[in-house]
Amino acid sequence: MSTSDDDRILYLSGEPADSLTPQERAELDELRELLEAPATWEEPDAALEDRIVSAIADEARRTRPVESAPVAPATPQAQRRRGFRWPFRRPGLVLGGFATAAAAIVVAIVIAVGGSSSSPLQYAMVVSGTSLAPGAHGSGTLTKMTSGWEIQLSATGLPHLANGRYYQAWLKNAAGILVPVGTFNDAEHVILWSGAPVTQFRSFSVTEQLANGNPVSSGRRVLVGVAHPVH
Amino acid sequence: MVQDRDLRARFRQGDPDAVRSVYRSYGRLVYAVAHKVLGDRGLAEEATQQTFLKAWRAAQTFDEERELGPWLAAIARRVAIDLYRREAVRATDPLESAPPGDQALISSPRSADAIYDVWEVRDAMAQLPQEEQEIVRLQHLEGFTHAQIAERLGMPVGTVKSRSFRAHKRLAAMLGHLRE
């Protein structure tokens, strides 16, 4: 290894390297900048893997062709037994006809509920901490159910609140109207509910609140996110 | 890195286990590219998820003879830049805007070379022994001196220096092409 190579390595590792040319220093400064960049060291949330696999699995279910219920094969014409007469001339076809009708009904029901790939309307969001909670982050899904929108939130980096303090989650629409969607003490895994449609109320936030009888938002937002349709 | 042709073929078919294997091989690299562009953890995770979704949707057209890494890196870059532009538009008319002091966005998207460089650096770092990675991290990300690293890791300063030298020697060899 040449002296220059040793000097470059020393320079990178923080030791003086007086024999480097200005160009060599400039090149190494670029490499050091990369080594110092937060992006080089940031790690994604451990739960991201499961979210990705789930998202792909959900899409696979939605895009898979509708599978019709198998049509029962027409039974071969039954041989006439001595002394017995079928009421229909071609019983095999009749049975086959009933099977076909039954299958058609099944298919119709499947289509009516959205097919084998039926999935409820769903949104997803990534949530980030604000300056009040810079280390907080997580994700959530918002799913249309019969009784409203179920919001599943998983976030880390928020301390557990108790003794009269709690978290309140909100949805907001483009007009700035806030709708409360639930209160909780710990954000690691919480289920919230919204009666307001996520299709219109897509901005999500969590505030710190005091149990003092005042239901309005404290304005102390700790977590924010925007819901996007899952497609 | 994922070299297995069978795995690539199963990824093309959308096999969930193959998807998980590909994520474990490339997820951190994709995230690094996204974070390089977006500078925000939450947005980088969103971009990472979208990258793998897009990759899966396009998997049928993926040539099994190609390496997955560069293909994923290209998708990650496009997704991250699209997200950056979306957030830049939103920042001018905020509904859930971060407080003024929050730095959720970078001022401009990075050049293509700079974006891919972080992939190369992460890849090279991942090939170092864990203890050498930690020394390099403390030195460059935390700005520690060798003495501070020695105190943090509970090892002699001489050991820190020799391991730092060895780690940077390997990095310089693996990343020399970035300087060309």
pLDDT for residue A119: 57
Quick one: average pLDDT of A37-45? 85
C-beta atoms of A176 and B95 within 8 A: yes
Measure B142 CA to nearest chain A CA, in Å: 8
* Cα separations in angstroms, A134 against B1, B19, B102, B103: 33, 31, 9, 10
Burial class of residue A70, CB neighbours in 10 A (0-12, 13-18, 19+):
exposed
Chain B CB contacts of A131 below 8 Å:
98-99, 101-102
Matching CATH number, B127-180, of 3.40.50.2300, 2.120.10.30, 1.10.8.80, 1.10.10.10 = 1.10.10.10
Give the pLDDT of residue B45: 94
Select the residue from B21, B95, B118, B146 to test the A interface by mutation, using most A Cβ atoms within 10 A.
B95
- Give the pLDDT of residue A135: 77
B27·A31 Cβ contact <8 A: no
pLDDT of res. A29: 81
Residue contacts between A and B (CB atoms, under 8 Å) = 148
Q: Cβ atoms within 10 A of the Cβ of B81, count?
A: 18
Q: Residue A1's pLDDT is what? A: 46
Q: What is the pLDDT of residue A38?
A: 82
Q: Which of A21-30, A166-175, B33-42, B89-98 has the lowest mean pLDDT?
A: B89-98
CA distance B76 to chain A (A): 14
pLDDT at A33: 83
pLDDT digits (tens, 9 = 90+) for B99-144: 444 444 444 455 656 677 888 888 888 899 999 999 999 999 888 9
Which residues in chain A are contacts of B176 at CB distance < 8 A?
Answer: none
- Model pLDDT for residues A78-136, shown as the tens digit of each residue: 444 444 344 444 444 444 444 444 444 444 444 444 444 455 688 888 787 777 887 78
Q: Give the bridge partners for A154, in sequence order.
A: A139
Q: Which residues contact B28 (CB under 8 A, 6 or more apart)?
A: A43, A44, B122, B126
Tokens representing A109 are 């029901």
Tell me, what amino acid is at A108?
A
**What is the CATH code for B1-108?**
1.10.1740.10
Q: What percentage of residues in chain A have a pLDDT greater than 70?
A: 72
Q: What is the mean pLDDT of residues A60-86?
A: 49
A74 pLDDT band (50/70/90 cuts)? very low
Domain chopping of chain B, boundaries: 1-108, 127-180
User: CB B45 to CB A224 under 8 A?
Assistant: no
pLDDT for residue A177: 81
Domain A122-229 in CATH 3.40.1710? The answer is no
Each domain of chain A, given as residue ranges in start order, spans: 3-40, 71-76+89-118, 122-229
Q: Do B98 and A131 touch (CB under 8 A)?
A: yes
Distance from CA of A99 to the nearest CA of B (A): 34
- Residues near A187 by Cβ (< 8 Å), separated by ≥ 6? A136, A138, A153, A154, A155, A156, A158, A167, A206, A223
pLDDT of residue A169: 94
How confident is the model at residue B158, as a pLDDT?
A: 93
CA distance A198 to A230: 12
Q: Do B36 and A39 touch (CB under 8 A)?
A: yes
A49/B24 CB distance under 8 A: yes
- A32 contact residues in B (CB cutoff 8 A): 140
Contact A41 B137 (CB under 8 A): yes
- Integer Cα distance of A86 and A79 in angstroms: 10
Going by pLDDT thresholds of 50, 70 and 90, the confidence category of residue A13 is confident
Identify the residue with better confidence: B23 or A227: B23
Q: What is the pLDDT along chain B (180 residues), one digit of tens a residue?
A: 445 778 877 877 777 788 889 999 899 989 998 998 898 899 999 999 999 999 988 877 777 677 778 888 889 999 999 998 888 776 554 445 544 444 444 444 556 566 778 888 888 888 999 999 999 999 998 889 999 999 999 999 999 999 998 998 888 888 876 655
DSSP 3-state of A135: coil
Closest chain A residue by Cα to residue B143:
A36
